[in-house]
Chain A
């Protein structure tokens, strides 16, 4: 019986060891959000690229579910998405994608660079998406794609202002994409992925012209939008 209890405790330790090392044995992560939310779509894309299972928990934005408990305990800023990874609770889509990409590096597609200099360049272009692209692109997504869905009127002055801003950003992208195939370097990484949700919406609006008129930007958009993982994210919207 001593040898039995020793072998059981060894087995328990071994199973704990392999469950830490083998993501397939980890508890399935949960993503709270909406299939229409650009931020949530960013997270879904990352899961599909990494070929990781996740449980999608819909949050009813029209009922302001995201502004009340229990959601507020997951994200005090009352925004989707939120992630549960065991007892770890995270929010902010770009923190979530980085957590997944680093911790599940060996699964699915590589979305980061292990080399520190390449990682630094990728980090620059992740910041560019967050601070240069997203402020203009997300306002256009709101005015041209989301507001009409709710019967709200588009503000033409806002569209004009932010199309001008986005154009300047895309001029820099056009030059950058002459130096490397993807924004962060020669491989598709989070720096490209983070753009996909706004690109998806804007390609269905008048702002499409800003992308189509710049050949390298246009080719890059077409390339990343055709990725199988991204097509799965888009398909999530079709059933709603």
Chain B
């Protein structure tokens, strides 16, 4: 029986981040669906797993964690020898550079990308609610500026943190997957190095399994 459990939704970008990491590490886990439309993520039972009432929440034996990027880092460090063992770097300099680009994803890429995912993918497709055009315009402009920096970076190295695929790349996958199905696709397609990097990381078998989980719902 799996000691690892992930509580969440197959549509949640944050939960998808955790699934991707578990798949890269070839780890068995139990997926515990949380019915967000019914407000299950705000119940007392769920809040004891994540006091902010957000998905995902993670259990490994008696260890309980939340925040997807803390979960992925825990998995990558604690199961270092399993599956893909290059998700983190052991050399201190390479680890520092990877850490920089994980922060870049969290603080520069994710804010505009997640707003666009919400407006252009989740609202219309999952919630049946209208998109706010002004929010889209503002965040496409902001994401464009971020991707200009990525374009320059990816001309210097194959992946954002260096020559290997790491958590720094993985953390981008859920938002990129959604945005490639929206008008914002053009922001990625129009930048050759960014476009090639997206195609490469989206094609990873571990990621395809995450997409399959979503497409089966």
**Which residues from 62 to 87 on chain A have a C-beta closer than 8 Å to any C-beta of chain B?**
76-77, 85
**Which residues from 94 to 118 on chain A have a C-beta closer than 8 Å to any C-beta of chain B?**
94-95, 98-99, 102-103, 116-117
Question: What separation, in Å, do the CA atoms of A124 and B65 have in the docked complex?
Answer: 7
Instruction: Please tell me if A18 contacts chain B, counting CB pairs below 8 Å.
Output: no
**Which residues from 66 to 89 on chain B have a C-beta closer than 8 Å to any C-beta of chain A?**
66-67, 69-70, 73-74, 77-78
**Which residues from 173 to 196 on chain A have a C-beta closer than 8 Å to any C-beta of chain B?**
175-176
Question: What separation, in Å, do the CA atoms of A124 and B74 have in the docked complex?
Answer: 9
DSSP majority for the A interface? helix
Instruction: Please tell me if B37 contacts chain A, counting CB pairs below 8 Å.
Output: no
Question: What separation, in Å, do the CA atoms of A95 and B67 have in the docked complex?
Answer: 17
Question: What separation, in Å, do the CA atoms of A175 and B119 have in the docked complex?
Answer: 33
New A-B pairs, 5, CB < 8 Å, besides A95-B100, A120-B73, A120-B78: A99-B92, A102-B95, A103-B96, A124-B65, A127-B69
Instruction: Please tell me if A4 contacts chain B, counting CB pairs below 8 Å.
Output: no
Residues of B within 8 A of A123 (CB): 65, 67, 70, 73-74
Q: Closest CB-CB distance, B17 to chain A, in whole Å? A: 12
Q: How many residues of B contact A (CB 8 A)?
A: 28
Looking at A128-136, A146-154, A200-208, A221-229, the stretch in contact with chain B turns out to be: A128-136
Selected contact of B103 from candidates A94, A102, A128, A172, CB within 8 Å: A94
List A residues at the B interface (Cβ < 8 Å).
76-77, 85, 88, 90-92, 94-95, 98-99, 102-103, 116-117, 119-121, 123-124, 126-128, 130-132, 169, 172, 175-176
Residues of B within 8 A of A120 (CB): 63, 65, 70, 73-74, 78
Question: What separation, in Å, do the CA atoms of A116 and B92 have in the docked complex?
Answer: 17
Contacting pair B100 A92 (CB below 8 A):
yes
Residues of B within 8 A of A91 (CB): 100
Given that A90-B100, A120-B74 are contacting pairs, would A76 and B63 also be in contact in the complex, using a CB cutoff of 8 Å? no
Residues of B within 8 A of A175 (CB): 51
Given that A91-B100, A95-B100 are contacting pairs, would A128 and B65 also be in contact in the complex, using a CB cutoff of 8 Å? no
Question: What separation, in Å, do the CA atoms of A225 and B95 have in the docked complex?
Answer: 30
Residues of B within 8 A of A176 (CB): 51
Instruction: Please tell me if B147 contacts chain A, counting CB pairs below 8 Å.
Output: no
Contacting pair B92 A92 (CB below 8 A):
no
Question: What separation, in Å, do the CA atoms of A126 and B102 have in the docked complex?
Answer: 13
Contacting pair A132 B63 (CB below 8 A):
no
Contacting pair A127 B70 (CB below 8 A):
yes
Given that A95-B96, A172-B51 are contacting pairs, would A116 and B102 also be in contact in the complex, using a CB cutoff of 8 Å? no
Given that A132-B52, A175-B51, A176-B51 are contacting pairs, would A88 and B69 also be in contact in the complex, using a CB cutoff of 8 Å? no
Contacting pair B96 A88 (CB below 8 A):
yes
Instruction: Please tell me if B153 contacts chain A, counting CB pairs below 8 Å.
Output: yes
Contacting pair A124 B51 (CB below 8 A):
no
Contacting pair A92 B104 (CB below 8 A):
yes
Instruction: Please tell me if B106 contacts chain A, counting CB pairs below 8 Å.
Output: yes
For residue A97, which residue of chain B has the nearest CB?
A: B99
Given that A76-B149, A77-B108, A102-B92 are contacting pairs, would A117 and B63 also be in contact in the complex, using a CB cutoff of 8 Å? yes
Residues of A within 8 A of B92 (CB): 99, 102-103
Q: Closest CB-CB distance, B98 to chain A, in whole Å? A: 9
For residue A99, which residue of chain B has the nearest CB?
A: B96
Instruction: Please tell me if B199 contacts chain A, counting CB pairs below 8 Å.
Output: no
Instruction: Please tell me if B217 contacts chain A, counting CB pairs below 8 Å.
Output: no
Residues of B within 8 A of A90 (CB): 96-97, 99-100
Contacting pair B67 A131 (CB below 8 A):
yes
Residues of A within 8 A of B77 (CB): 116, 119
